[in-house]
Structure formats: C-alpha cells, structure tokens
Structure 1
Amino acid sequence: MSADSSSTALARIGVLTVSDRASRGEYEDRGGPAVVAYFERVLTSPWQAVRRIVPDERPAIEAALIDLCDREGCGLVVTTGGTGPAPRDVTPEATEAVCDRLMPGFGEAMRAASLLKVPTAILSRQLAGLRGRSLIINLPGQPKAIDECLDAVMPALPYCLDLIGGPYLTTDPAQLTAFRPKGS
C-alpha cells in the first residue's frame, strides 16, 4: 500500500492486557498504558487505542482477540502479559489458536533484543500471528520490556501491515524509522 488517501484513515490498534489481578482491579495495569504511550511517542499517523483487560484464561483471551480483530476492526492487536512459563501464562497458546498463520520472526527478534538486556528473556514465549487482515503481537507485561520488544519489531511492523491489507502506519523518524522497500 502506498501513502495515498488511505494513509490518513484512523488506524484502530487493539491493546489487550492479560492479567488475573488487573482484570479484578487488584493491580494497576501498567502494561496496557505502556503500549499506548509507546505508540503515542512513535506513530505519526492517526490511530485510536481499543483497550481490553482479561484474566489469564485462554477462552477469555481468545474471545478478546477475536473481538478486537473481527468486530472492532483492529488491524494491529498487541497483547501484554501472560507470555512466561508459569502455568497460567497462556497468551501464546490463545494467540496461536485464533491465528491463520504465525509470524515467528517477531518473537525471535523480540527475544534476541531482550536477551541483550536480561538473561531471563529466554523464558519469554511471545509470538505473533495473522488473523485475516490483522497482526497480533504478544509482548511481556513489564513496561521496560514492552519498549524493548516494540523497538525490535517496529521497523518492520508497518510494512507487514501493508502486505496484509492492514492500516497504513507512519513513524516519527526522530524515534525510529519504519522500513518500506522503495516503490511500496
């Protein structure tokens, strides 16, 4: 997709926090606001966050992902939380269940970037996949890790959305430069 009239359309970005305690109001959600703050800082194209918080329960996660992609029309859905090895960390399984195809390079890039900062990043199981014209990306729950992981994949993310017919996103070059091949 090229930067034409569709480049000014409002992109809807789903932000799904997966947390038992935050969903019950026992814990302040810090992951969702960190994702929103990242996109506010990096994106220059118009966008709107569509926020949800669900417990660490696979059916609830799957239902929220389907809702954000299919009903809410979010071309990008970012989850935060539930990507570790604990028994209740089931976000990757829920994501895989609702996706048509997986995009393993996203998880590989995020883990590689995080491993440069902390050795326990190897425990993270985040992944990404496609559901129709939507890209779903799993992120860890910690705000610092969210920024590191998004920094690792953001340069390729807008072009991925172009290829699947998702929203046209532009980035602030002072923050990072999104890569698009010449002529695209």
Structure 2
Amino acid sequence: MSDTRPRLLGVVVSSTRAADGRREDLTGPRIAEWGRAHGFEVSGPHVVPDGPEVGDVLRRLVDQGCALVLTTGGTGFTDDDHTPEVTAALVDRPAPGIAEAIRARGLRTTPHAALSRGTAGISGHTLLVNLAGSTGAVREGLEVLSEIVDHALEQLGHGRPHDPPLHT
C-alpha cells in the first residue's frame, strides 16, 4: 500500500527587520518554491523576529508533523542571532554533517560562509535545518539539500509522495 500523504515542509524566516516590516524577506518564498518543486506541501514562510518566537514556530511545525523544517536567518554573530540555539534545544539527535556540508558549499563562494552558526538535527521524526539569511546562502543550502533530503526523510519514515515508507 502506498503512502499518499504529502510531505510537509515548514519554512521559518528569523528576521527582526522583516518581521517588523523594515525589510522585505526574499529567502522564505525561495525556500517555499523549492519545497513545492520537490513535492512538499508548504507551511509558511512564517516570518518572526529572532529569539523565542522562532522556537514557538518550530515546536508547532514539529507537532504538526512536518517532515522537514528549514529556517533562514538568525545564524550570525549579532546579539539577536539565536536561531541555532533555539533549534538545538528541540533537537533529539544532531545531524552535524548537514550543516557542515552547507557551510562547505558556501565556502566555495564566500569566506563569510564560515561565519554561519547554522545547525541541523532531528526532532522526533522532523529534520530541522538552519540556513543563513542571504539569498545566496539559501540557494547554496538548497543545492546541498536537493542531493540528500529524499534519502534523509525516507530514513525518518517520510517517503516521497506515493512511495511506501522505508523501514530500517
């Protein structure tokens, strides 16, 4: 029997300036578009200021059964960049190789990719991944995820639409 449930992607934009209307967010829509192109039903982008609000949205998306939640922004060195810490608080099992691969891809373009403190991990059966907040960083992070996300989600029991779940 096939699993016909859509895979859910949650998109969270961690940006105080975008949340209060001082800046237009361009990264959340880009992630949502990528998600739809990869067969996901998309929740978001949810645009929130960095900090506790990010954790609230992440918890809600995990509880809603998202297979994948991608955040953008809040991974730098400024005083209000707390997305990696908020994400790590929800992670049951870290997935450091994903964050390392995303940074490695970014380093091919800019040395500033080394400044991203983004993390990745599993919360329940949801894969959480932080992307930096620039459009270039999001593009590069999605390139990496395009290569690995199906296999990762299959291991978590989220088969591609119309595929049976993989039980290992």
Normalised by the size of structure 2, how large is the TM-score? 0.89
Which of 56, 59, 68 lines up with 2:61 in the alignment?
Answer: 68
Deviations 1:32-73 (A, max 9, x none): 0111122344x1x3x22111111011x211111000111x22
Aligned match for 1:53, one of 47, 53, 59: 47
SS of equivalent to 2:147: coil
Deviation for aligned residue 1:12: 1.2
The ranges of structure 1 where at least 4 consecutive aligned residues each deviate by more than 4 angstroms after the TM superposition are none
Counterparts of 1:1-184 in structure 2, within 5 Å, are 5-6=2-3, 8-41=4-37, 43=38, 45=39, 47-51=40-44, 52-57=46-51, 59-70=52-63, 72-168=64-160
Provide structure 2 residue ranges, at least 5 long, that are not aligned to the other structure: 163-167
What is the CA–CA distance in structure 2 between the aligned matches of 1:167 and 1:26, rounded to whole Å?
39
Return 5+ residue gaps in structure 1 as ranges: 171-183
CA distance in 1, matches of 2:158, 2:88: 19
Percent identity reads 38
Q: Quote the Cα distance in structure 2 between the aligned partners of 1:116 and 1:27.
A: 28
Query: Given the two structures, how large is their TM-score scaled by the length of structure 1?
Result: 0.82
Measure how far apart 1:119 and its partner are: 1.0
Query: What is the RMSD computed on CA atoms of the aligned residues?
Result: 1.7
- Once the 2 structures are TM-superposed, how far is the Cα of residue 117 of structure 1 from its aligned partner? 0.4
What is the deviation of 1:134? 0.4
> Deviation per CA, 1:102-129, whole angstroms, max 9, x where unpaired?
1000110001010000011110111111
Instruction: Provide the secondary structure at the position in 2 that maps to 1:77.
Output: strand
Task: State how far apart, in whole Å, the 1-side matches of 2:41 and 2:139 are.
Answer: 19
Counting matched residue pairs gives 162
